[in-house]
Chain A
Amino acid sequence: MLNSDFLAGYLSQSENFEELPKQSDVVIIGGGLLGTALSYYLATAGVEVTLLERNDLNREASGTNAGSFHFQIALHQLTENMTAADDKRLADETKLMLDAAKLWDEIEKELDADLGVHFTGGFMVAETQEEFQVLRDKQRIENVAGLETHVLTGNEMREFAPYLAPDLSGIAFCPREGHANPLLVGPTYAYRAHELGAKIRTNCEVIQIEQITGISGYRFKIHTSRGTILCNRVVNASGAWTAELSSQLGLNLPMALSGLHVNVTEPREFFLHSMVQHIGRRLTLKQTANNTFIIGGGWPSRAEKFPLRYSNIWESAAGNAAVAVRVLPMLKDVQLVRVWSGVWAYTNDFKPILGESEKIPGYHIAMVPTGFTLGPMVSKMLAEYMTQPGTQNLLPKEFHVDR
C-alpha cells in the first residue's frame, strides 16, 4: 500500500523530467485531480496517454482545498424561489453525489493506497426558523434520492452536538459525508497511471493548441515550453485556466473564476469529527487530522495574475471568523495562524463541463465546480466515454461543452 512518505518522494521524480514523447493518442493538459484521475482511468483501459503540467502536480485548487465530501444539498444549489423543477434538479444532483460517494468508498482499494478517506458525517446548521424550514425541505428531496440525512432541533440537537451554539434553530446530519487527504489523491492517481504506462510530465507549460490536418493523421499539435507533441485527442483539465486555453480555439466556455478565502487555526484537542456547514451563510468548518481548524465556505479573495497566488482580504477573514464563532463558540479563543486562498472555477449553474466539443472534434473538456467531491467520478465518466465509441449518452446533456 502506498503511503504519503513515499509519494512525497515521488512527486515529480521518476521520469517526469524526461523528454516529451513525440506523439500520444491522448494529451491531458493539467496535473490536478481531474487530469491525474483521467490519466489513470484511461491508462487502465490501455489508452496511450500523456499528461502535461506546467508546475508540480496537484498545486492549485486540487491540493489547496479542504478535502471534504459535500454530498448534502448546500446553499449554492438553492435559488430564490424554489419550484418543482428545482426539486427535480436537486434530486438529480443528489443522485450524482451518491455515485461519487460510491467511488470514494472504493478508491483506497482501487488505488491500493492510504488516502485518508473517512466517512465521519457532516452537519448543516440553521440559525433562523426560515433556514430550519430549508433543512426540512432539502431532507425530503435527499431522502427520496436515497441520501440519508437527519434533522434535529432543541434538546435533541444539543445532546447530539453539545459543542455547537445551543441557540441554533436546528441541524441536519448526513452520516455519509466525510473527507480524504487532498494532497494525496491526485499524486496517487498519477503514480498509478505512470505504473500503467501513462507519461506524466511536469514543468511543461502548454503554450498553444494547434489544430492540424495531414498525412500524420494526428489532429492536434501541442506547443509546450518543452517542445511539441502530436495527438489525436486533447483533454483540457486545467481547472481555473480551462477557459483561457479554450479561447485559443475560439471556444467560449460558460465559466468564471473566484478566489476563495480560508482561515486556518492553531491545533486544539480533537473533538470535532464531522464537518460543519451552514444552510444560510457562507461557512464550512472542520477539524483536521492535525487538530487544526480549517474554516472557509465561499468568502472572496483578490484575483492575481498567475503565477501569483490570489491574495486575501481582511473582511473575508473577519466575516468568516464571525460566522464560525457564532456556530462553534469555543473557536473564539482559538488563534488564527494563517489564511490562504485558492482559485475556484465555477459555472453559472454549478454543473460540470464535461465531454467532447462538437465544434472541434477531439477536443475535450473536464471541469467541475465542486471539484474535490466530484472530480474522480467525472474523470471516470469521461474516460468511459473516451474508451467506448458510440456511447454519446454516457454524459448528461447539461454537462455539454458547447452549451
Chain B
Amino acid sequence: MKAFDLVIIGGGPAGIAAAATAASHGLKVALIDERPTLGGQIYKRVGPGFTVKKASEVGKDYYLGEKLIAELDNLKVDIYFETLVATIEQSEVVVIQNGKSAERLSFRKLLISPGAYDRPVVFPGWTLPGVITAGAAQSLVKTQRVAPGSRIFFAGSGPLALAFPAQLSGYGANIVGIIEAAPRPGILKSIQIALSVLGNFDLLRDAAKYQLHLISNRIPMHYRRIIVRANGKNRVESVTHARVDKNWQVIPGTEKTVEVDALCIGYGFFPSVELFRLLGCELGYEESRGGTVVKLNEWGATSVANVFGAGDGTGISGSYVAIARGRLAALKIAAELGKISESSLSKLAAGFRKTLNRRVKFQSAINRAYEIKSGIYDLADDETIICRCESVKLESILPSLESTIDPSVVKAYTRCGMGLCQGRNCQRQISALIAKKQNIPISEITQATPRFPTKPIKLGQIADASIRDEKYFVDAE
C-alpha cells in the first residue's frame, strides 16, 4: 500500500491549487482524478488528438487553467488519472484505476474536492436525445470541438446561463434562443452586485462581455421564461417555453414553441457530496449554493477529523473561491503536519484569505440574485419519467407519497434512485415531491443512506480472492 501525507480527490481548481501548495511545502501528495487530464470542468483541457492553435479563441479560463496546472510541473505529486474512488475507510482511500484492480492509498490528511454536476431538471421530454446539460455541451466543445446541434436552444438561469451560449456562439455554433428564468437584472440588483464587486471587476467585465456578444450577434434572449417541454418523437424537434411568476410557476397561456435540434439545460449545479456523506461529515442545506452543502471551518476542515473539503463539491462558489479554499486547506494541513510554523501559516494564508473573502462576497451576491425557485420542481406531468435509470414515471410515484416522508420508502416501492446513477438525477426531485405533498421544507427531507461505490465498478475489479470467509463452518459460540 502506498502512503501519503495528503490524498486529494478531484483535480479541478481546488485540487490542483491544494496539491501545488502542499507539495511546495514538502508534503508527499497524491492527486486523484476520474479524467485523463487535470483541470476539472472549468479548466478542462482539449481531448487527445486536439491541439490549441489560437489560444485567444478558447477563452480566458483556458489560460488560467494552464497556468495553474503548470504550477505542478516542478513539484513531486503522484497523479492518478482515470481513477475512481470506490470508498474511504478509516485512513485509506480505495481507488480503482482504469481497467485495474482496487488499490489502497493511505493518508494522514484527506482533501475532498470532487466538484459539482449539472442540476438535473425534470420536465416532459427531458430524457429525449438532443436534450443535454449545459456542462455536457461545454465539454463537447472544449474537448472535441463539436457543437451539440445546428439549431441550439439554451434554457437556464444564473450568470453562466449567459456565459455558455456566448462561448458556444463564439465558436461559431448557431444559437437560436436563450431563456433565463430570473427577471432582467433591475437597478436594485445591479447595485447589489456592483457593491459586492470591489476587486471583482474582471468577473463583472466577463458578464458584460457575454451580454454584449449575445446582443451584437442578435441572439434572442428572454427573461422570466422557463422550459416547459421538449417535443419530438425520437429526438428533440422543438421546445416549448413559458413565462413564469416570481416563484418560477408557469403562467398559463404564455407558451411559445421554437424548432430546435439541441436543447441545453443550465439551471446551476449540485455539489457532489457523496464522499462527504459516506464519511459522515456534517452537512447543511443552502438552495443558493446548490442544496446540500458541506460545513467547513475557516481552513476548510470538515466535522470529521483529518478530512478537509474545498471547491464546488462543498457548495457552489466558483473557481476563484475553490482555488483560495484549496490553498488555505493545504497550508493548514502543512502546518498540522509540522511543515510550516503557526506564525508563517497566518502570514502565508493572509493573501488567500483576502481573495477568498472578496470572491465569496461577489459569489453570494450572484447566487442570491439567481436563486433557484420552487417552480423548477413543478414541471413534470404524470407521464414524465422521474427516474431515468429505472424508467419510473411520476404517476407511479404519486401513490407512495401519500404515506411517507422518507425517500427510502419511495425508493423501495418504486425503484426510483436504484439504478446506475444511484439517485443523482432524481433524488432531489423526489424530495421536492415529498416536501410539497407533506408541506415541509425540502431541507428537512432525509436522504437515502449513503453507500459505496460512488460510481459503478466492475465486480472483476473489486473481487479480491485473498480475502477468505471462515472456511466451512460458522462457529456456534
Contacts and interface: CB of A to CB of B under 8 A. Distances in A.
The judgment on whether A and B are partners is yes
A325 B451 contact: no
A256 B457 CA distance: 33
Contact of A313 (B89, B422, B474, B476): B89
Contact of B473 (A79, A183, A340): A79
B412 A183 contact: yes
A9 B464 contact: no
B420 A332 contact: no
A273 interface: no
B402 A309 contact: no
A282 interface: yes
Contact of B467 (A7, A13, A312, A322): A322
B357 to A, nearest CB: 37
B476 A336 contact: no
Contacts of A56: 403-404, 406, 409
* Residue among B390, B415, B452 facing the most chain A CB atoms (10 A cut-off): B452
A77 to B, nearest CB: 9
A298 interface: yes
B463 A340 contact: no
Contact of A11 (B400, B459, B474): B400
Given A8-B413, A12-B404, A56-B406, A280 B471 contact: yes
B396 A5 contact: yes
Contacts of B390: 290
A263 interface: yes
A1 interface: no
Contact of B420 (A290, A315, A337, A340): A337
A133 interface: no
Contacts of A322: 463-465, 467
Of A56, A323, A335, which is in contact with the most chain B CB atoms at under 10 Å from its CB? A335
Contact of A319 (B87, B413, B464): B464
B400 A282 contact: no
Contacts of B94: 314
A333 B460 contact: yes
A338 interface: yes
A290 B476 contact: no
A5 B459 contact: no
A9 B400 contact: yes
B462 A317 contact: yes
B477 interface: yes
A388 interface: no
B469 A290 contact: no
B396 to A, nearest CB: 7
B399 A337 contact: no
A113 interface: no
Q: How large is the interface on B (under 10, 10 to 19, 20 to 34, 35 or more residues)?
A: 35 or more
A336 B413 contact: no
Interface string A1-33: 000111111111100100000000000000000
A129 B452 CA distance: 36
B464 A318 contact: yes
B201 interface: no
Contacts of A78: 472-473
Interface bracket on A:
35 or more
B472 A349 contact: no
17 contacts: A5-B396, A59-B409, A59-B412, A75-B472, A79-B476, A266-B419, A290-B415, A312-B87, A332-B459, A332-B460, A333-B460, A336-B453, A336-B456, A336-B457, A339-B451, A348-B476, A349-B476
A125 interface: no
Contacts of A45: none
A377 B73 CA distance: 69
A368 interface: no
B387 to A, nearest CB: 12
Contacts of B67: none
Given A9-B399, A12-B403, A321-B459, A340 B467 contact: no
A314 B469 contact: no
B398 to A, nearest CB: 8
Contact of A332 (B414, B463, B469): B463
A135 B458 CA distance: 31
A312 B87 CA distance: 10
Most chain A CB inside 10 Å of its own CB: which residue of B390, B420, B453, B463: B463
A266 B460 contact: no
User: 6 shortest A-B CB distances, which residue pairs?
Assistant: A332-B460, A9-B399, A319-B467, A318-B464, A335-B456, A322-B463
B102 interface: yes
B451 A312 contact: yes
A325 B404 contact: no
Interface string A333-375: 1111111100000001110000000000000000000000000
B458 A336 contact: yes
A323 B472 CA distance: 13
Nearest to B398: A9
Nearest to B449: A309
A336 B413 CA distance: 21
A12 B449 CA distance: 21
Nearest to A82: B473
Nearest to A315: B467
A220 interface: no
A320 to B, nearest CB: 9
A314 B463 contact: no
Nearest to B415: A290
- Between B102, B415, B456, B462, the greatest number of chain A beta carbons within 10 A of the residue's beta carbon is seen for B462
A69 B298 CA distance: 55
Contact of A263 (B414, B459, B465, B476): B459
A335 B463 CA distance: 11
Interface core residue of A63, A263, A318 (most chain B CB under 10 Å): A318
A318 B452 contact: no
A5 B399 contact: yes
A269 B53 CA distance: 47
Given A319-B464, A324-B459, A11 B404 contact: yes
Contacts of A332: 458-460, 463
A270 B57 CA distance: 50
Contacts of A59: 408-409, 412
Contacts of B409: 11, 56, 59
Contacts of B408: 59
Interface in A233-256: 256
Interface in B417-452: 418-420, 422, 449, 451-452
A348 B472 CA distance: 17
Nearest to B89: A314
In this complex, the member of A56, A80, A321, A332 whose beta carbon has the largest number of chain B beta carbons within 10 angstroms is A321
A63 B462 CA distance: 27
Given A8-B413, A290-B390, A339-B451, 16 more contacts: A8-B400, A9-B400, A59-B408, A63-B412, A75-B472, A80-B472, A264-B418, A266-B419, A266-B420, A312-B452, A317-B452, A335-B459, A336-B453, A336-B456, A337-B420, A338-B453
B87 A314 contact: yes
Given A263-B459, A321-B463, A325-B460, A11 B413 contact: yes
